[in-house]
Amino acid sequence: MSELHLSSKIGHDDIKTEPIRKGFGRGLVAAGKTDENVVALCADLTDSTQMGLFRETFPERFVEIGVAEQNLVTVAAGMSALGKIPFTSSYAAFSPGRNWEQIRTTICLNDRPVKIVGSHAGISVGPDGATHQMLEDIALMRVLPNMIVVVPGDSVEAEKATRAIALNGKPSYIRLAREATPIFTTENTPFEIGKAYVLREGHDITLFGTGTMTYECLIAARILASDGIEAEVVHVPTIKPLDSQTILASVRKTGRALTAEEAQMNGGLGGAIAELLGEQLPTPLKRVGMRDRFGESGKPTELLEKFNLTGKHIAMNVHEFVDQFDRYHQ
């Protein structure tokens, strides 16, 4: 769709790749230039979470917390009381993994615009293993009243998302991945918190993707097209608030839905869309993601393969799903 200005290299081997977290690093500096109230706090992972660029640009607005994630978010809550817009970063396994209650009470119930940046989320963290592969963060953050949940699809979108949440005045969670992944959007692709985007039109099934899995949905759609199935691909970078209008409109057209995420599907994007469709438009649904289990050590590509988180696997899932569906409706 031309108005989305997507990369012309989608599906090609030479598509440019970059870790999503890099876009966050640039977006944070841009946000810091736009609003002098933006401050950054980190729990001893400054370079790894890409806060180093902000630290170099605005040293007086950077606060090192040390390995103390509970203190990370509560110091930030205090700073926000004096008009600051704090971004707090760590690995998602530790923040929001360890400090959920502090986020609930001092940020969400207290309604302070603190930003929780969870880096190294998902299975593609790789060799560090299950302890560091955060899969439950979407579910943890999504259930909190007042919290906004954003999962950018690539580094270019992460930059825009970071600038947007800096100015939204709300508690917000942004989820970042470690590995370099394809950049399928461009500078001119729109991004707005709370909007889902139809990246490819189709009429047989809707593939909903978030984060790194949206690109895999695009790959799946290309495979499916060659098999005669026209899949619509909807990118859902904001999981809360969910863009129910776009989601329902697509499913009304296709009648079938599949969700894909690098996270626990229970409570994740899969959970969110199942809830929406269950209440408003009961629709056959297939969920791709981690199904109630932990990851393990391995190369990112090996793990994505093992846990069926690739475009090829999504396409296989769609075939099975469509066959089942057709048998049922015969």
In the complex, the residues that contact other proteins under the rule CB under 8 A are: 39, 60-61, 63, 65-66, 68, 70-71, 74-84, 86, 101-102, 105-106, 109-111
**Distance of alpha carbon 141 from alpha carbon 254, whole angstroms:** 30
At its nearest, how many Å lie between other proteins and the CB of residue 8? 44
What the block records as the tokens of 3 is 């108005």
At its nearest, how many Å lie between other proteins and the CB of residue 70? 4
8 Å CB contact between 267 and 138: yes
At its nearest, how many Å lie between other proteins and the CB of residue 107? 9
**Distance of alpha carbon 177 from alpha carbon 183, whole angstroms:** 13
Indicate the residue among 105 and 245 with the shorter CB distance to other proteins: 105
8 Å CB contact between 233 and 1: no
What stretch of H or E contains 98? none
At its nearest, how many Å lie between other proteins and the CB of residue 113? 13
**Distance of alpha carbon 87 from alpha carbon 78, whole angstroms:** 13
Indicate the residue among 146 and 297 with the shorter CB distance to other proteins: 146
Indicate the residue among 60 and 326 with the shorter CB distance to other proteins: 60
Catalytic residue among 36, 56, 60, 69: 69
Indicate the residue among 39 and 207 with the shorter CB distance to other proteins: 39
8 Å CB contact between 177 and 122: yes
Indicate the residue among 75 and 239 with the shorter CB distance to other proteins: 75
Compute the C-alpha angle 178/183/186, nearest 5°.
135
H helices present in 82-154, as ranges? 100-102, 137-142
Catalytic residue flag (residue 187): no
**Residue of 251, 157, 169 whose CA lies nearest to 202:** 251
At its nearest, how many Å lie between other proteins and the CB of residue 81? 6
Indicate the residue among 28 and 231 with the shorter CB distance to other proteins: 28
What the block records as the tokens of 195 is 């909007």
What stretch of H or E contains 160? helix 155-166
At its nearest, how many Å lie between other proteins and the CB of residue 317? 42
Indicate the residue among 70 and 155 with the shorter CB distance to other proteins: 70
8 Å CB contact between 81 and 110: no
**Distance of alpha carbon 130 from alpha carbon 152, whole angstroms:** 22
What stretch of H or E contains 223? helix 213-226
Tell me the CA distances in angstroms from 65 to 46, 70, 105, 195, one per residue in order. 10, 10, 20, 34
What the block records as the tokens of 156 is 């270019």
At its nearest, how many Å lie between other proteins and the CB of residue 60? 7
| Residues annotated as part of the active site | 69
